[in-house]
Structures are given as structure tokens and as C-alpha cells.
Structure 1
Amino acid sequence: MTLDILNTKEELRNLIDAYAYLGDAKNIAEQMKLFTPDAIYKVYIGDLLAADVSGTKSLEKEFNKHASEVKTYFTMNGQHTVSIDGDTALGVSFSQLKMIRESGGKNIITDYSVKYDDKYIYQNGKWLIKQRFGYFLIIDARPINN
């Protein structure tokens, strides 16, 4: 494995970690800078296509709407495997997401186990997300005391 490949893998890992950090902070405008302008974002819950958004303008609206309904986000990224082919790469990553929402005067925490299939592209000196498909594999919601 060459030093260039190792550096690229680190840059791609930093990209998905930045996605999580910015999402947790609800800094959606900065998060959009991690995507190509024509990015595609899809979410599957089981066999149901729950979100299908194209372009960062639409994606920013969707993310802001979602963030307005969530009190707290917390993300932990796990495995991240990539295959690199010049200025493009494919990645698979796994995340644990926690979201706290208020419902009926109670805080409800929802735990999500998510697999992401990504396509990345190297543009203007940096790696960006061209396509992100999220597969929400396990979902557990319950009241929380705090």
C-alpha cells in the first residue's frame, strides 16, 4: 500500500467524521460543503425509501427541517472501508446514531444502526461526497430520563 493510498484513506475517513461532527452540531451549512453540488442522498428504512434528495440546496432544506425536530444528535462512526480509483472512491461505513426528540412532554431517544454506501469524488483539491445511501438497519426508540 502506497503512502498516497494511506493519505487518501485518512482524508476519506476525516470526511465521514466531519459529516458526523457537523450533523451533531446542527451546522448544516458547513455540512453541505462536504457534498458535491449535485450530490444524491437516499435513506432506506427496511425496504422503504424514506428520503431521496438531489443537490445540496434541497439537501440543506431537508437536513435543516430534520434538525429542527431533534433536540440532540450523537453519532459514533465505526468501520470505514474504501476502494480508491484515481479521483473517485467507493466507501462503506457503519454508524450508531442517537437522536433525542420531545413527544408528549417526554424526551424520546431513538438509537439507529446505520450502514452507509458512499461514492466520493476528488474535486478542487479535496474529497467530497457525491452519493450517500443510508440503510437504517436497527431502530430502537424509548423514553429517556433527563
Structure 2
Amino acid sequence: MSNHDYSPDQIADREAIRELVDDYARLADRRDARGQAALFIADGRVAVYQGEPGTAEPVQVVNGRDELAAAFGGLQTYDKTTHFNGHSKVTLDGDHATGESSCLAYHLWTEQGQRTLMIMSIRYHDTFVRQDQRWLFVERQLIIDWVDRRPSMP
């Protein structure tokens, strides 16, 4: 389906949801854990998987904005991160939506004098809701497809 098959409201909703996904990545890289958590409904949730949801149990589940902010604060342990969002697909249903998006997450730190780079290929299965004219995450299922960790040169 191309953009001309969507109503102006649907196009605006899709753009708002894409901005939400991009804001999540931008705030992660800026170390704004509270800002990241504010992108979720009050009792929002992140579940982390190393395998497909439904066939694997989550390795971590974080519930509510306070727990989310604490978990997102864990990015402080890295010197730098870059979350690069790729493709995304959104299905709208009134004030609710679901989607899938991809992300390459780069994490850089120094460990025992060695600069280290970890790259994670991540997929998100998302549930969204519009509250007070704003799209928010209800749940993000973070699926780690692969991880590459290696020495890095400055």
C-alpha cells in the first residue's frame, strides 16, 4: 500500500508513530532515561527476548515508568551509543496500533584499557495507543537477533 492509499489522518498517525520510535532511540543515545520512559503509558512494559516471543520466555521484563527509567539508565555504563532505526511497519486500528521495526544498536566502552564495540541487531514488536492526542508505547518486545562484540580502534 502506498501513501496515496491512506487518509490524511492515517498518514499523520503513521508519521507520529515513526517519530515516537525515533524519539526512543534519540533519547537513549542522549541518556535521557526519564524522557524515554515518558514515551510509554504509565504502566508500559518492555520485554527482552533472545528468541521469538511465544517460543522463548523473556530474559527481562520491565514494568511501569519508574522501572523503565531505571532500566534505561543502564545505558550510562557505555561511553557512547548509537541506535540506528531501519525499516518499520505499522498497522492502525483507531486509537490503537501495532508495529515492527528494526534497529542496529552500537555500544562503545573501554574495558581493562581496551576500547570495545558491541553491535546488536534488534527487532521491536510494538503496541501503541493514542492518549490525549499523543501516541505512546504500551509495550515493546525487544528481540535480540544477533550480537557482535569486538575490539575497536579510536
Q: TM-score, normalised by structure 1?
A: 0.95
Question: What is the aligned counterpart of 1:61 among 62, 70, 77?
Answer: 70
- Equivalent residue, structure 2, for 1:125: 133
Matched residue count: 145
**3-state SS of 1:49 partner:** coil
- Equivalent residue, structure 1, for 2:37: 32
- Structure 1 range deviating more: 38-47 or 77-86: 38-47
Pairing 1:84-99 to 2, within 5 Å after superposition: 84-99=92-107
Q: Tell me which amino acid in the other structure corresponds to 1:41.
A: V
2: CA distance between counterparts of 1:29 and 1:40? 14
Q: TM-score, normalised by structure 2?
A: 0.90
Question: What is the aligned counterpart of 1:9 among 7, 14, 21?
Answer: 14
- Provide the alpha-carbon RMSD of the alignment: 1.1
2: CA distance between counterparts of 1:82 and 1:115? 13
- Equivalent residue, structure 1, for 2:145: 137
Question: What is the aligned counterpart of 1:114 among 89, 108, 122?
Answer: 122
- Equivalent residue, structure 1, for 2:3: none
For the 8 Å contact 2:36–2:72, the answer to whether it is kept is: no
